[in-house]
Amino acid sequence: MQNTTNYNEKSKKELIQILSAKEKQITFLEEYISAQNLRQFANKSEKFNLNQLSFFDEAAAVKDEEKILGAEEDIQVVSFTRKKSPGRKSLPKDLPREQRIYDLTNAEKICHCGCELTHITDEKSEQLEYVPAKIFVIEHIKKKYACKQCEETIKTAKMPTQPIPRSIAASGLLSHVLVSKFEDYVPLYRQEKILKRIDVDLPRATLCLWVLKCAALLKPLMKLIQHAILNYDIAYADETTCQVLKEPTKGIQSKKYMWLFAGGAPNQFAYYYQYHPSRSHDIALNFFEDFKGYLHCDGFSAYDVLAEKRSITLVGCLYHVRRKFMEVVKLAPNKEGIASHVVKLIAKLSFIESEIKLLSDADKKNIRQEKAKPILDELHDFLLVNEHAVPPKSLLGTAISYTLNQWKKMLVYLEDGRLENNNNRSERAIKPFVMGRKAWLFANSVEGAEAGAIIYSLIETCKYHYVQPYAWLKYVLQAIPACQTLEEFEALLPFNIDRNLLA
């Protein structure tokens, strides 16, 4: 009888443990499904409205907001107030203008008293008009001469080297095709339809061939861009997925990757896209083979290998941390808790960065040490206290463990005023590729993916230096076939180009 009672008690304990484990699993799965729904359908913004934390404790919310905004009183920086111009912006003066003059008839120029009216002034107003794309044919006529005396010499004038020999595409059309696809996200099959509307029949296969040929022409510039990145001691890295249909080493549905590396001196900053079928650490390791310095990155383990095998110090991304805690806040937006407190502390750090961005590097470092470091210390202590207070596999537990694992990297930006506390620069640069991917969905071949990497690199570098990608591509595609020396290639880079040549 005693054995039966013990057995029943043991069975009850086991059932309680099983039920407890199932309850935790159900809670975890419900949280996971809610988070997935938020990622898929909710607003992606990470703006944090402190006044919405609690409908029942407005005083606490206001007090917390005052704490964050109080940093403004502690940091004195040279700033300016942006003045809003009244009314509508004037139209650019360099746009061509067509005047349409409206006058009174001769009869209307006679006053009711019988006198002729005198012209005193004009009333002007401006209106924008749009003319659909205009395409025209360039006829290349090479003059040919012969000697009538000896009848042996014949000379023909030479025409400039063309981007694609024996092609009907001039550099302006090629530039338009590249910019339309890689900056405006218009797939080639749509461009084919657009061109048909103006009676130009260019098959998609022809447009695709032009893209590949242009990328091959521009490829020599990629080595120079890589050199510019590696020749400075601050760099950035990120990666995203890319589907390539005809990848010989992987299936159609398997993940391939577009890597992004960036860096260089401020006046030579550049972006370098690189396609690779894998996410192996070897890709970053090979690219940064000769690099020494700081690398801004996320928590991907491939970058940790760089720190081990190269003279590289990793700089963590505070906004990757914020993103993980914001997911928890969005699940319970009206509830005060650990995640909301972490987001508040990060908001303080972000406010400090926004206030010092115009200061010198030395001043940035000093203010960070004085103002940001105490906040980071408070955040670290807070996470350590609450590390074991939440289930480790929950969203909040995952966010805390991720942050603590990345903590040493988070502090690196305090060492140098040139560094940033986030990797947003590379994330902003990789976004155009992500936007384009939504439009054209996939690359057909490895060659197409590599061509896209080259063109994206150059267009994003142009945009960073406020160089118009269309004008730059039009000039460079015409000039690069004639380049022979390293100096001639270097002069074509977006940050070296003579902008007078692009007018």
* Cα(487)–Cα(490) distance, integer angstroms: 5
Band (pLDDT 50/70/90 cuts) for residue 410 is very high
Helix, strand or coil for residue 260?
strand
pLDDT for residue 355 is more than 70: yes
pLDDT in tens, 386-403: 988 888 888 889 999 999
* pLDDT above 90 as % of the chain: 58
The mean of the pLDDT values for the chain is 85
pLDDT for residue 147 is more than 60: yes
Give the Cβ contact number of residue 96 at 10 Å: 4
Q: What is the pLDDT of residue 7?
A: 53
Q: What is the pLDDT of residue 32?
A: 64
Identify the weakest region by mean pLDDT among 73-87, 269-283, 320-334: 73-87
| Both tokens assigned to 131 | 């003319």
pLDDT in tens, 32-73: 676 666 656 556 556 655 444 332 333 333 344 444 444 444
Largest CA distance in the chain: 132
Dihedrals φ, ψ of 170, to 5°?
-85, 170
pLDDT (mean) for 345-359? 93
Band (pLDDT 50/70/90 cuts) for residue 75 is very low
* Cα(260)–Cα(240) distance, integer angstroms: 8
Band (pLDDT 50/70/90 cuts) for residue 268 is very high
Q: What is the pLDDT of residue 41?
A: 57
pLDDT for residue 4 is more than 60: no
Q: What is the pLDDT of residue 86?
A: 55
Q: What is the pLDDT of residue 238?
A: 94
Q: What is the pLDDT of residue 132?
A: 78
pLDDT (mean) for 344-357? 93
CA distances from 414 to 369, 371, 417, 418 (A): 6, 11, 7, 10
* pLDDT above 70 as % of the chain: 84
pLDDT in tens, 461-493: 999 999 999 999 999 999 999 999 999 999 999
Q: What is the pLDDT of residue 66?
A: 46
Q: What is the pLDDT of residue 73?
A: 42
Q: What is the pLDDT of residue 91?
A: 82
296 membership: H or E segment, kind and range: strand 293-296
pLDDT for residue 503 is more than 60: yes
Cα radius of gyration (the chain): 31
For 107-207, where are the E strands, in sequence order?
Answer: 144-146, 154-156
Q: What is the pLDDT of residue 37?
A: 66
pLDDT (mean) for 339-352? 93
* Cα(458)–Cα(477) distance, integer angstroms: 12
* Cα(264)–Cα(234) distance, integer angstroms: 7
CA distances from 362 to 263, 354, 356, 357, 359 (A): 20, 16, 11, 12, 8
Q: What is the pLDDT of residue 68?
A: 40
Q: What is the pLDDT of residue 212?
A: 96
pLDDT (mean) for 94-107? 90
pLDDT (mean) for 139-151? 89
Q: What is the pLDDT of residue 174?
A: 96
Helix, strand or coil for residue 237?
strand
Nearest to 452 by CA among 436, 471, 470: 436
The more confident residue out of 249 and 41 is 249
Q: What is the pLDDT of residue 38?
A: 62
User: What DSSP string runs through 344-356?
Assistant: HHHHHHHHHHHHH
* Token pair 């009206």: residue: 334
